[in-house]
Structures are given as structure tokens and as C-alpha cells.
Amino acid sequence: MPRFPTGAATPASIVDALKAVAGDPPKVRASFAKGRCVRGTYAPSDWAEEITKSPSFTKPSRVLARFSVGGGNPKVADTNNLVLRGFSFKLGDDRHRSDILLESAPVHFARTLDQMLAFLKARLPGRDSKPDMAKVKAFSAANPETLHQANYIAARPLPASFAGTTYWGVHSFPATNSKGETRFIKFKVVPVGGDVTLTEDEAKTKSADFLHDDLESRIAAGDVRFNVMALLGRPGDPTMNVTIRWPDEDNREAIRLGTIVITGLEANEACDPTIFDPANLAEGIGHPPDEIFAARHAAYTISLAKRR
């Protein structure tokens, strides 16, 4: 069991805690360990330049992407309805690259690094390989905002397909257009065919890898398409707290930046030697101001080094 510092949390201690909660499996990502690498194309909309001058969003490009299931367990079942689904992708060329990391809930489970470490430590498995639920309940009672993500997931049916799931960016990104106008946006990536879900009875008939099998068949049929949307910020929106949504977020004005079409499977080795680095943002999309985002680049780099 790793030793955690008693003082302020660090990206390294967060990675150690994520690994410990998952049972410390070797040579896998600390989070979203189970996944599938794919490739595709991105085509910008006519409105993209109104939101950002970033060439990675205003010009057509190839896409390298990865669909995933949340948590640090690479053998987690696709039928687990308590974990997130993830979608990360790289847009643009070598000079104008943007890496966007999204998940199937619009909020994160902690507001600060200290709170994130405490959340994870409360869930460390004991000698029976299970967390102490009394500790979990006590922490949740003292930190109710850390339940917002879990409550969002629990209120929704199991996704039936990676290709039929809406993915969110939990951070507020400052976007600057060609006129020099800057406003906050949130990324939301929406399946062109709409969300597809399973009933509880349908879920019972599915295999532990059904999302991955479904993805292969849908790509073969040529119907994996997503619209990349920018939700438009308003003055006074909470941009520092990733555990809460913007007011009336589901009814916000949204601009379609472009469309991603997934055209083929890639060997997972194409995604694994590097990271989808949230700090990679081509000029025109700035770094969000919140504390969690600031730590992500370092945490992902540390996690990559551990995998190697």
C-alpha cells in the first residue's frame, strides 16, 4: 500500500491513490484503464471560427481517439453502471495539436486536489479487498459535492454503445476567436444518432466486453459520428468548481464546432506509448483556471512513467 503525504495533495499522490483504489494493477493507466484505440477524421463547421481561432478546430484533420471505461481496473465489465465512459481525442497537425478529454458525466468528483486525495483515501481497500463503507459515508456526508458525479451516473440507464453516448468536458475553457474575443466554453460531444441505452433486463444479457464488440461492428458499418459542440458561457458562470454545472447548462446555446467520424480501429499500441495530454491545446483554446485541470498534465505524465 503506498504511503501518502500528510500535507497537501500532489499529482503523484493522486496517481498513487487511484492505483491503490484499483488494486494497483501493473502497467495500465491510473484511470480509464480499459479502452480501445480508434482513428478517424474531423471536419469543422462554418461556425467554428466564431468561437475559436484554434487551427485544430477550424481546419480538417485526422483524429486519433480512445474510448474507455472508468476506473483503474483494466478488466472492469462494460456492464458496470457505476463507472464513467470516456472519450479522448487528438485533433490537428503536429504544429496545432489539441487533446480533448471527455467523460459521460458533466462534473468531476472533487473540487480540489486535497479533496480528491481524501475522496480516494476513503475508498482504499482493506484486508478484505473492499473499502470501509462507514468511511465512505462519513466522507460523503462531510463533502456532499463529491456525490454529484455519482448521482448523475446513477440516475441514467447503462450506455448501450460507446458510439451512442454523450461525452462532456468538465472544465471551463477560455476560447478566443479571430476577432480577439474570448469567452468560456465547455465541450460536449454528442452522438449524431442520439444516445442509446439499455434496460436493466437488457444489460443482464450483455457480455463483459459488449461495448468493445459493439464498437467494432458499428465502425465496420460506418456509423460512428459525433458532433463536437461548444456550450457558451455567460458572465458569472462558475469556472473554478468542476463539481457543479453551469446554471441551466442543458438549455445553453451550443455551437457545433465540427464533426468527428470514426473510420477504423487502431492497435491499442497506437494510443498507449503516449498520453492524451490535456495541456496540449492549440492557440485559440486556453487552459481552464481550475485547480484540477492544473494538476492533470503532471498526473498523466507520472501515470505514463509508471506504465512504462
What local confidence, expressed as pLDDT, does residue 7 receive? 56
Residues of the chain scoring pLDDT < 70: 1-7
Q: Following DSSP, what letter does each residue of 41-91 receive, concatenated?
A: EEEE-TTHHHH---HHHHS-EEEEEEEEESSS-TT--TT-TTS-EEEEEEE
Q: How far apart are CA 244 and CA 8, in angstroms?
A: 23
Task: Find out whether 225 and 11 touch, Cβ atoms under 8 Å.
Answer: no
pLDDT of residue 63: 97
Residue 88 lies in a domain: yes
Per-residue CA distances from 3 to 17, 83, 121, 124, 171 (Å): 9, 26, 11, 12, 30
Instruction: Report yes or no on 22 lying in a domain.
Output: no
What is the count of structural domains for the chain?
1
In a domain, 12, yes or no: no
Q: Let me know if residue 21 belongs to a domain.
A: no
pLDDT for the residue numbered 3: 47
Quote the Cα angle for 144-287-243, to 5°: 10
- Residues across the chain: 308
**Domain holding 253: CATH number?**
2.40.180.10
| Residue 210 within any structural domain of the chain | yes
- When the pLDDT of each residue in the chain is averaged and rounded to a whole number, the result is 94
Residue span of the structural domain in which 211 resides: 34-109+157-289
Does 125 fall in a domain?
no
Q: Is residue 46 part of a domain?
A: yes
Question: Is there a contact between 114 and 5 (Cβ–Cβ < 8 Å)?
Answer: no
What local confidence, expressed as pLDDT, does residue 5 receive? 44
pLDDT at res. 275: 83
Q: Is residue 294 part of a domain?
A: no
DSSP string, 255-289: EEEEEEEEEEE--GGGTTTS---TT---TTBPPP-
pLDDT at 164: 97
- What single letter denotes the amino acid at residue 235? P
